[in-house]
């Protein structure tokens, strides 16, 4: 799931980034799992994940984007991409201007946006109010005041650790500026998309019935995730009889998701004997033979369902459609298997 708070920052500014995250986490009590910060362990990108794809997923729908606007930030194409994405998506943003920059840095897509200065003590209460409105604050005002005072006492030393902006060749600067102008032009082309999204949100807010909400989502998204999900589920149910039966399918599901579940040959001998004949399982070592044709078909359908569950929009649509089923909507859960696959 996407984190509620996205910290948009330059990698070179890690000492400051760490202090701000500590302030939010320890001073306000925002849970670690609700803060995404790509440069910090425990808040960043899990091992094995594609960096760009994971970043795209996280910037898609956070509740608030905290912008640490430093010289290094505006000198980073990746940071400017995050800023552009937040603007296009219409996210709530909380800009913090870091010296030696001043409020004149608030221009282009940030023009007119209210920001606070890094050293403006009282203004940080607005950050607390913003996160409190999102039901993320769990610490008392006293704890917040103590942590905030410590943060400001530490700031001079933190700012000294930040690397200074390197000078850029004028020709390179002109090239980057041209690229930025082209990027801004491209961003403006998304205005129609933003208007459609706002229209979609307005329509959804007027509805109370879950089925109606899903119908509106399908209308504006141009896709029917529920139909894709149902097709994959029906295919698995159809394969169930071809691989031996529901108990064999349960055994394969457990193996696919890495759950501990033994082959129950004693109570279901006929199912597993048939599964052995179609080469889906091997009785000698009680294992799934994923290279078999039927097993590959099962795995392909499960991968389709997992893909739908990994995307926020499709997950919301499908989970909302089946909200009346009182089960955890988790593909590696036995209750999910029983409800959808009939195992």
Residue that wins the pLDDT comparison between 293 and 88: 293
pLDDT in tens, 73-84: 988 888 988 888
Q: pLDDT class for 30, splitting at 50, 70, 90? A: very high
pLDDT of residue 104: 83
- Count the Cβ atoms, other than its own, within 10 Å of residue 283: 13
| 58 within 8 A of 2, measured Cβ to Cβ | yes
pLDDT of residue 215: 62
**CA–CA dist 77, 215 (Å, integer):** 38
For the question of whether the overall pTM of this predicted structure is more than 0.95, the answer is no
Buried b (16+ CB within 10 A) or exposed e, 177-208: eeeeeeeeeebeeeeeeeeeeeeeeebeeeee
Q: Which of 97, 42, 45, 41 is nearest to 69 (CA)?
A: 97
Query: Order of strands across the sheet with 64-69?
Result: 35-36, 5-8, 64-69, 93-97, 116-117
pLDDT of residue 287: 94
Q: Is the pLDDT of residue 66 over 80?
A: yes
pLDDT in tens, 177-220: 787 777 777 777 666 677 777 676 666 656 656 566 656 655 65
Burial classification of residue 43, based on how many CB atoms lie within 10 Å of its CB (0-12 exposed, 13-18 middle, 19 or more buried): buried
pLDDT of residue 221: 53
pLDDT in tens, 9-26: 999 999 999 999 999 999
């Amino acid at each position: 799931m996407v984190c509620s708070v996205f910290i948009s920052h330059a990698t070179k500014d890690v000492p400051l980034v760490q202090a701000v995250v500590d302030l939010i986490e320890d001073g306000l009590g925002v849970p670690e799992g609700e803060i995404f910060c790509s440069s910090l362990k425990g808040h960043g990108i899990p091992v094995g994940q594609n960096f760009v794809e994971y970043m795209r997923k996280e910037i898609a729908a956070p509740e608030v984007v905290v912008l640490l606007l430093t010289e290094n930030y505006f000198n980073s194409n990746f940071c400017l991409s995050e800023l552009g994405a937040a603007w296009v998506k219409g996210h709530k943003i909380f800009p913090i201007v870091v010296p030696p920059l001043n409020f004149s840095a608030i221009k282009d897509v940030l023009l007119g946006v209210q920001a606070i200065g890094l050293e403006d003590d009282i203004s940080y209460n607005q950050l607390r109010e913003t996160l409190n409105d999102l039901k993320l604050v769990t610490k008392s005002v006293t704890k917040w005041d103590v942590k905030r005072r410590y943060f400001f006492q530490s700031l001079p030393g933190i700012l000294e650790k930040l690397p200074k902006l390197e000078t850029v060749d004028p020709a390179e600067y002109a090239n980057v500026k041209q690229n930025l102008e082209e990027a801004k032009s491209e961003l403006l082309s998304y205005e129609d998309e933003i208007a459609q999204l706002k229209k979609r949100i307005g329509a959804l807010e007027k509805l109370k019935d879950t089925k109606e909400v899903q119908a509106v989502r399908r209308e504006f998204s141009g896709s029917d995730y529920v139909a894709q999900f149902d097709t994959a589920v029906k295919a698995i149910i159809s394969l169930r009889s071809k691989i031996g039966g529901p108990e064999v399918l349960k055994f394969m599901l457990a193996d696919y998701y890495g759950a501990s579940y033994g082959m129950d040959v004693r109570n279901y001998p006929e199912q597993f004997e048939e599964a052995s004949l179609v080469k889906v399982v091997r009785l000698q070592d009680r294992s799934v033979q994923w290279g078999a044709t039927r097993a590959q078909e099962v795995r392909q359908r499960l991968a389709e369902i997992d893909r739908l569950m990994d995307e926020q929009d499709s997950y919301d649509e499908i989970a909302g459609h089946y909200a009346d089923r009182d089960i955890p909507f988790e593909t590696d859960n036995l209750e999910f298997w029983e409800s959808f696959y009939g195992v």
